[in-house]
Structures are given as C-alpha cells and as structure tokens.
C-alpha cells in the first residue's frame, strides 16, 4: 500500500447517521439540549464537529474542526486571525439568516462529529476583504475533509478525516513500481524517531584510527646511463667528441654574490610586476568610479528632465486637480510679479489703468483654465463610467489548486455585461438611423422587465426619440433628448434592484445604519457627504471642509500647489517602509503637515547648501538609528541625503554649531506637533529629555547604534 512520505497522518471519524451533518430545527435543538438529550450531555467537553465556511462573495471554502459547545463569537474570534481582519466586521449566517453570537453549534443542531455549512461575509468588503490564507508547508495546522465511504452492504457513509501535518519527514526505505500502471509503492515507515543507542558511560575508540598504513614501493630510473669505449672488436668514432676545459675557479663569496644579484633582480622584476598590477587595479577602480559618477549624474539629469517634462505636460494638458492647482499657482506668481512691477514703475492714473488691464488678463486666464477643467472633468467622467461598468461586468476570477487562473460568469455578472454593452451602443451617437432604432428597441425591452417610475420615464423618452427619428428630425436637435436617455439609463444601471452586481462597487453604502455613521457635515457648503470626500489633517480636531470646497477656496484665494509636498511625503513613506516595516508617524502626516514642516521649520531649503528646488529635496532621518519623526529629521537634497544616511555617528560628521542649529529646528517641530493628540502618543520621555539636554548642553542628539 502506498504511504505518504511527508509525515502526514489521517484520522477518520464517522458522522452520526441521524443528523447527517445538517442543522436541525430550533425545537429539535431545544429537545436535545434541555429535554431528554442524554446523548448530548454524555458527550465530552471537547467534542468537535466539521464546519464548512463559505467566504462571500469570493466563494472560497474553509473547512475546520470546531467544538460544538463553543459559541459563534468564539468561531469568529478563531477565524479572524486566519483571514487577517477584525472580529467586528465578520458576519456569520446560515441560509441567509444572520446568527446570534451567543448561540453554540450544539444549539444550532450540529451533533458532535457532524458537519454543517455556514456563510461568512465582511461588513466592510472594501477595507477588509475576505481572502483565505494558505497554510505554510510543513506547519502544524490541522485540516478537515469529509469523504464518502461505501461499505460492503452498499451503504454510503460520510466520514470526517482530520489531516495532521508533521514537520518530520519519513525516511525513504525503498519500494517498487508497477510495470503496467506505473504506480510507485513505498515501503512503510513509522512516525516515530529512530531509537537512540544507550549511553555506556565511557568513550569507545577504534583501533583503526590509531594505526598508520605503511606501503613499500620500488622506484626505477626511466633512463639507463652507460659509458662505452673502444675495445677489441668494437670501434667507437671520436669525430663528434669535444674537448672540455675547466673554467675559472669560483669562490664561495663569488657564488653567493651572484646568487644575491640574481635574487635582487628577481625581486625588482616581481615588484615591478606587482606595481603594474596595482596601477592597473587603481586605474580600473578610477574608471569604474568615473563611470558610476557619470551614470549617477546622467540618472539625476534624466530624472530632472523627466520631472520638467512631466510639469510641462501638466501645464499643457491638465487632467487632475493637482494639474489645475499647478496652473493656478503659476497664475498667482505671474500676477504677483506683474503687480509688483506696476507698483514700482507706474503712479497715479497710469498705475490704476495698468492694474485694471492686469485684472482683465487674469480674468481671461481664469476663464481659459476653467474651459480646460470642464473638458477634463467631462473626459474623466466618461472614462470613470467606462471603468465602473467594466468592473461590474468582469467575471469572477480565482486561482485553482494547480495554479491555473479560473474565470466564471454568474447571473449578476452576465446581467451587468448586458447592460454595459447596451450603454456602450447607446452612447455611440455617430451611427445610422436603423442601428440607433435597433439599440433603442433593445433598451426598451430590457427596461420594461421592471415596473417603476424610472423605467416608465425611460420608456417614454425612448418612444419620443423613435417618433422624432421617424419624422426625420436632425441628429443635432436630438442631442438633449439622447443625453437625458443616457443619464436615466445610467441611473437604471446603478440601481442594485435592476443590476445586483453594482451594489459591491457603489460609493454610497446601501445600508442605512452604515450610511448614517459614515456621513459628515461640511462646514463650508453645509452638505452631508461621505467621509471619503474629506481630507483630514493630523492637526485637525474636527472635520472641516470637503474636498470640493477646499479646491474652490484654493483656486480663488490661496492658489497653492501641493504636488511638490505630496512627492516629498511619498518618498518619505517609501523610505521608511523600506527601513522599518512598523513605521507609523510618516503615514499619519498629511500634505498640509509636510508643507508646514518644509516651509515653516526648514524654510524650503536644504540645510547644507541651501538648495531651494523642492522637487529635489527629501526628508530623511537625522539619527539613522531612531525612527523618523518631525523631531528626528533633516531636509536635504538627494545627493546630500545619500551621504548623510551613510554616517555612523553624526557627532563626528558635523560640528557642534551645526548640530545645535538642527536641534533648535527639532524643538520647533516638536512644539508644533506635540499639540496633536495622535502625535502625542509617540512622544516619549527620553526623547523629550534628549531634546532639552541637546539645547542646553553642547552634545549632539545622535550617537552610535543603540
């Protein structure tokens, strides 16, 4: 028999025949718990049942063993860490009915060793979606499966199999392979560790490690040497003989002197070769550093060019509100320069005439920006509607067990796709009359399935356009009517009663309780809107103006461009997320807080060289060994920040006067942000004491690594 080799065990328990794992009625559950439920009372305290949890709306199934005497609240507390969501957002239901948290599985009619199925949904699917987390391979997490076994009598029984994963891997003891089917069969192995030998109490040595193996071999010279001479019967020619005469006698001092000169010559050549190698290595290092500096400079230059190109694109083709804020900011700078020039060069009536002309030019520029903004809003609205409809019509997607992507269409997604296609054809006005009539007839038959005031108005408008088209009315005269039909049909699509799939993507929640708790009052326009339409700051005590009122006020009076500070904030958050995964303060700051920190504390310039290009400035840690905070930061350019982050000890890298200057700015930031309740939670006594001591004494605030 084949046996698993990864240390997996299976245990099967038979289901109770009378319950068959289905929830019973409340009367049956009461009889089992209060009346003569002797069998239930005799069950052990840790008796378990199989619970299949279906995660909505994804449809993922999680099977787990759960004690029948514990409540639904305990089930949610056990399930929340697995799904990585808060317990408060979990909703457990059976057949569409929401379960009370104090009820236990036993009260719901689930027998021990039985099984049941429940649905789990999230109260806030946008912020806390339900995604199953696959257990790590080799972990001790238990899983439960329900299998059907057919006995000899032909009776099919359901059994619960609990799978236990062991970290120990069984040893491979051999096996064989079936010649016909190719199935591999392994010899059985036990789950226990191998038995250890008993300790004898003394060291056991072997003689083999204390002896030396000796071997004798005979060596033979490969060439034989001999001397031959002429004798009787053998003549040896002397034609090739040569006379060898002794040379001059070499004394010991001469021999050693010649060896010394040869050694000195070899050393000189060797040192020359080593020097050449070192020079070549230094030359390669120099070339690599020059190439790196050139590449770095080219990268910085390319980044600056890309930033300038991006700003030019935003000036010439604005799309977002940040782009229009950039235009308003440029208009404010131009108006300030022109006003200063007029006030310094002109006087009297000429000055008043020039100011009136300047006002007219400003009005024309504002009108031009307004036209661009209207066109951008219209284009953005159309693209957002298309994206919204595509999202509703997308099929359900998930990854199968074998890793392949799976797509499935449901009735709501098919309905959403049909409405999306009709809307696409309806918004295409440049078609012939027959095609337009066919689209209107399809739309009319689609909306007539439901009877309400919206569908009646839509059908009336469709009949009116069909009648006007039969009378050969020009298409330009029908634009208003077609726009009304498109608007009403879009309202029809966004109604969950007609398009169920759209309920998951509406910004306004359909539940009145959640909608009431998620609404806030704008103090400027006195309108109630969703909390997502507000931009709270870390220094705000209560919610103030909405995004629309803030943008209108900025375009009318301040005309500030926050995109530069948003870039600084994003760089800061990315750097802190890379250095420390549990960073919190950078993610509490808003763009207005970064603006105050850059402009009021650091004067919008680099502390070292005074660079005022905000697109090149970054906020980094002053002491690299402590988490970033407004009282532990410094504003530098990108090149300066890279060199600053490599300092091990800031007291050795900067002089005392510079350190005291930085500490003074830290004190200004600390006094401002300490008034914010959220920031006050991160203020520690040792940090406060360190700031005061740094201002009163001569030492720096940073040392080595703690």
Residue 452 to residue 458: CA distance in whole angstroms: 10
Give the length of the chain: 706
Q: Taking the CA atoms of the chain, what radius of gyration do you get in angstroms? A: 42
Give the least confident one: 48-57, 272-281, 652-661: 48-57
Q: What are phi and psi of 343, to 5 degrees?
A: -70, -30
Residue whose pair of structure tokens reads 């230059």 in the numeric block: 301
User: How confident is the model over 46-54, as a mean pLDDT?
Assistant: 76
Residue whose pair of structure tokens reads 């109630």 in the numeric block: 528
Residue 502 to residue 476: CA distance in whole angstroms: 33
User: How confident is the model over 191-203, as a mean pLDDT?
Assistant: 69
Q: Which two tokens stand for residue 385?
A: 């509607």
Share of the chain above pLDDT 70, in %: 78
Higher confidence at residue 35 or residue 292? 292
DSSP-derived pairing of the beta strands 633-637 and 617-621: antiparallel
| Angle, CA 495 vertex, CA 490 and CA 499 arms, to 5° | 95
* C-alpha distances out from residue 224 to 220, 221, 227, 229, 340, Å: 10, 7, 10, 17, 112
Give yes or no for residue 42 having a pLDDT over 80.
no
pLDDT digits (tens, 9 = 90+) for 139-189: 444 466 667 777 777 777 767 666 655 555 666 677 888 888 888 887 776
pLDDT, mean over the chain: 78
Q: Which two tokens stand for residue 603?
A: 């004067």
Q: Which H/E stretch holds residue 493?
A: helix 479-493
pLDDT digits (tens, 9 = 90+) for 480-531: 898 899 999 999 998 888 988 888 887 655 555 555 667 778 877 887 777 7
Q: Which two tokens stand for residue 378?
A: 């219209």
Q: How confident is the model at residue 225 (pLDDT cuts 50, 70, 90)?
A: low
Higher confidence at residue 17 or residue 365? 365
Q: Tell me, what's the pLDDT at 30?
A: 38
Q: Tell me, what's the pLDDT at 536?
A: 64
Q: Tell me, what's the pLDDT at 285?
A: 96
Residue whose pair of structure tokens reads 């005497």 in the numeric block: 69
Q: Tell me, what's the pLDDT at 117?
A: 81
For residue 616, count other CB atoms closer than 10 A to its CB.
18
Q: Which two tokens stand for residue 41?
A: 């009372």
Q: Are 139 and 64 in contact (CB under 8 A)?
A: no
Q: Which residues are CB-neighbours of 157 under 8 A, at least 6 positions away? A: 14, 15, 17, 148, 149, 150, 151
Give the least confident one: 264-273, 369-378, 593-602: 369-378
Q: Tell me, what's the pLDDT at 267?
A: 97
Q: Tell me, what's the pLDDT at 136?
A: 47
Q: Tell me, what's the pLDDT at 100?
A: 78
Q: Which two tokens stand for residue 104?
A: 């236990």
Q: Tell me, what's the pLDDT at 563?
A: 80
Q: Are 523 and 545 in contact (CB under 8 A)?
A: yes
Q: Which two tokens stand for residue 156?
A: 């099919």
Give the least confident one: 65-69, 398-402, 512-516, 653-657: 512-516
For residue 363, count other CB atoms closer than 10 A to its CB.
10
pLDDT digits (tens, 9 = 90+) for 582-592: 788 888 888 88
Give the least confident one: 118-127, 374-383, 527-536, 662-671: 527-536
Give yes or no for residue 258 having a pLDDT over 70.
yes
Q: Are 634 and 644 in contact (CB under 8 A)?
A: yes
466: nearest Cα among 433, 493, 492: 433
Task: Give the HSE-up count for residue 148: Cα atoms under 13 Å, Cβ half-sphere.
Answer: 5
391: nearest Cα among 507, 501, 498, 495: 501
pLDDT digits (tens, 9 = 90+) for 555-574: 777 777 778 888 889 999 88
DSSP-derived pairing of the beta strands 156-165 and 175-177: unpaired
In 198-219, which positions are buried (b, 16+ CB within 10 angstroms) versus exposed (e)?
Answer: eeeeeeeeeeeeeeeeeeeeee
Residue 669 to residue 693: CA distance in whole angstroms: 16
Q: Which two tokens stand for residue 254?
A: 């001469």
Burial class (CB in 10 A: 0-12, 13-18, 19+), 486: middle
Query: 122: which DSSP letter?
Result: E
Residue 50 to residue 161: CA distance in whole angstroms: 10
Q: Tell me, what's the pLDDT at 263?
A: 96
Q: Tell me, what's the pLDDT at 132?
A: 67
Give yes or no for residue 691 having a pLDDT over 60.
no
Give yes or no for residue 463 having a pLDDT over 80.
yes
Higher confidence at residue 336 or residue 32? 336
Q: Tell me, what's the pLDDT at 33?
A: 40
639: nearest Cα among 613, 670, 602, 603: 613
pLDDT digits (tens, 9 = 90+) for 241-253: 888 888 899 999 9
Q: Which two tokens stand for residue 706?
A: 């703690």
pLDDT digits (tens, 9 = 90+) for 408-431: 888 889 999 999 999 998 888 778
Q: How confident is the model at residue 270 (pLDDT cuts 50, 70, 90)?
A: very high
Q: Tell me, what's the pLDDT at 206?
A: 60
In 667-690, which positions are buried (b, 16+ CB within 10 angstroms) versus exposed (e)?
Answer: bebbebbeebeebeebeeeebeeb
Q: Tell me, what's the pLDDT at 18?
A: 40
Give the least confident one: 379-393, 591-605, 629-643, 679-693: 679-693
- In angstroms, the first-to-last Cα distance of the chain is 60
Give yes or no for residue 47 having a pLDDT over 70.
yes
Residue 24 to residue 106: CA distance in whole angstroms: 10
Burial class (CB in 10 A: 0-12, 13-18, 19+), 81: exposed
In a 3-state reduction of DSSP, which class is residue 308? helix
Q: List 93's β-bridge partners, or say none.
A: 98, 119
Q: Tell me, what's the pLDDT at 10?
A: 39
- Cis amide prior to 402 (ω within 30 degrees): no
Query: 462: which DSSP letter?
Result: H
Residue 62 to residue 546: CA distance in whole angstroms: 42
User: How confident is the model over 35-42, as a mean pLDDT?
Assistant: 40
Residue 592 to residue 534: CA distance in whole angstroms: 14
pLDDT digits (tens, 9 = 90+) for 11-25: 333 444 343 334 433
In a 3-state reduction of DSSP, which class is residue 539? coil
Q: How confident is the model at residue 108 (pLDDT cuts 50, 70, 90)?
A: confident
511: nearest Cα among 76, 118, 98: 98
Q: Tell me, what's the pLDDT at 695?
A: 45
């Amino acid at each position: 028999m084949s046996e698993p080799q990864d240390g997996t065990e299976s245990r099967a328990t038979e289901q109770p025949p009378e319950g068959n794992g289905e929830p019973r009625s409340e009367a049956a559950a009461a009889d089992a718990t209060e009346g003569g439920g002797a069998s239930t009372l005799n069950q052990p305290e840790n008796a378990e049942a199989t619970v299949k949890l279906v995660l909505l709306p994804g449809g993922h199934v999680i099977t787990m063993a759960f004690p029948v005497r514990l409540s639904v609240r305990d089930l949610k507390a056990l399930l929340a860490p697995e799904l990585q969501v808060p317990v408060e957002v979990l909703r457990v239901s059976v057949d569409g009915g929401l379960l009370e948290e104090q009820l236990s599985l036993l009260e719901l009619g689930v027998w021990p060793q039985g099984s049941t199925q429940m649905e789990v949904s999230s109260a806030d699917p946008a912020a806390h979606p339900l995604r199953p987390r696959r257990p790590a391979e080799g972990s001790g997490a238990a899983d439960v499966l329900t299998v059907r076994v057919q006995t000899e009598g032909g009776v099919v029984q359901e059994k619960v199999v609990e799978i236990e994963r062991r970290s120990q891997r069984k040893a491979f003891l051999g096996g064989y392979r079936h010649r016909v089917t190719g199935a591999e069969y392994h010899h059985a192995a036990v789950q226990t560790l191998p038995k250890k030998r008993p300790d004898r109490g003394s060291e056991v040595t072997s003689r083999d490690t204390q002896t030396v193996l000796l071997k004798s071999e005979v060596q033979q010279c490969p060439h034989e040497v001999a001397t031959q001479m002429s004798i009787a019967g053998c003549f040896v020619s002397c034609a090739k003989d040569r006379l060898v005469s002794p040379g001059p006698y070499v004394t010991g001092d001469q021999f050693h002197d010649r060896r010394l000169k040869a050694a000195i010559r070899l050393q000189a050549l060797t040192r020359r070769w080593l020097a050449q190698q070192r020079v070549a290595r230094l030359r390669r290092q120099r070339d690599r550093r020059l190439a790196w500096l050139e590449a770095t400079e080219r990268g910085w230059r390319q980044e600056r060019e890309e930033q300038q190109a991006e700003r030019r694109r935003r000036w010439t083709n604005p799309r977002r509100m940040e782009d229009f804020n950039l235009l308003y900011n440029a208009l404010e700078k131009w108006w300030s320069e022109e006003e200063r020039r007029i006030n310094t060069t002109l006087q009297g009536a000429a000055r008043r005439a020039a100011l009136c002309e300047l006002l007219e030019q400003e009005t024309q520029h504002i009108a031009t920006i307004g036209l661009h903004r209207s066109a951008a809003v219209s284009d953005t609205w159309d693209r957002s509607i298309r994206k919204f409809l595509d999202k509703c019509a997308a099929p359900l997607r998930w990854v199968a067990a074998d890793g392949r992507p799976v797509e499935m269409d449901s009735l709501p997604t098919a309905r959403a796709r049909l409405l999306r296609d009709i809307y696409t054809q309806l918004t295409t006005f440049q078609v012939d009359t027959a095609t337009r009539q066919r689209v209107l007839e399809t739309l009319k038959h689609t909306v007539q399935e439901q009877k309400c005031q919206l569908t009646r108005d839509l059908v009336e408008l469709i009949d009116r356009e069909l009648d006007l088209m039969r009378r050969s009315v020009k298409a330009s005269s029908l634009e208003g009517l077609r726009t009304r039909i498109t608007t009403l049909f879009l309202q029809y699509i966004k109604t969950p009663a007609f398009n169920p799939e759209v309920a998951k993507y509406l910004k306004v929640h359909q539940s009145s309780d959640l909608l009431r708790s998620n609404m806030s009052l704008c103090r400027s326009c006195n309108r109630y809107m969703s909390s997502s339409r507000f931009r709270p700051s870390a220094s705000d005590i209560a919610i103030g103006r909405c995004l629309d009122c803030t943008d209108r006020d900025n375009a009318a009076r301040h005309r500030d461009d926050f995109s530069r500070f948003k870039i600084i904030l994003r760089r800061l958050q990315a750097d802190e997320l890379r250095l420390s995964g549990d960073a919190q303060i950078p993610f509490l700051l808003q763009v207005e807080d970064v603006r105050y920190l850059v402009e009021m504390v650091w004067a919008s310039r680099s502390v070292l060289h005074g660079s005022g290009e905000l697109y090149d400035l970054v906020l980094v840690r002053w002491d690299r060994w402590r988490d970033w905070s407004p009282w532990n930061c410094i504003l530098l350019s990108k090149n300066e920040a890279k060199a600053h982050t490599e300092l091990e000890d800031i007291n050795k890298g900067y002089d005392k006067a510079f350190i005291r200057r930085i500490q003074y700015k830290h004190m200004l930031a600390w006094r401002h942000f300490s008034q914010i309740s959220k920031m006050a939670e991160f203020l520690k006594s040792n940090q406060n004491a360190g700031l005061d001591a740094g201002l009163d004494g001569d030492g720096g605030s940073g040392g080595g690594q703690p």
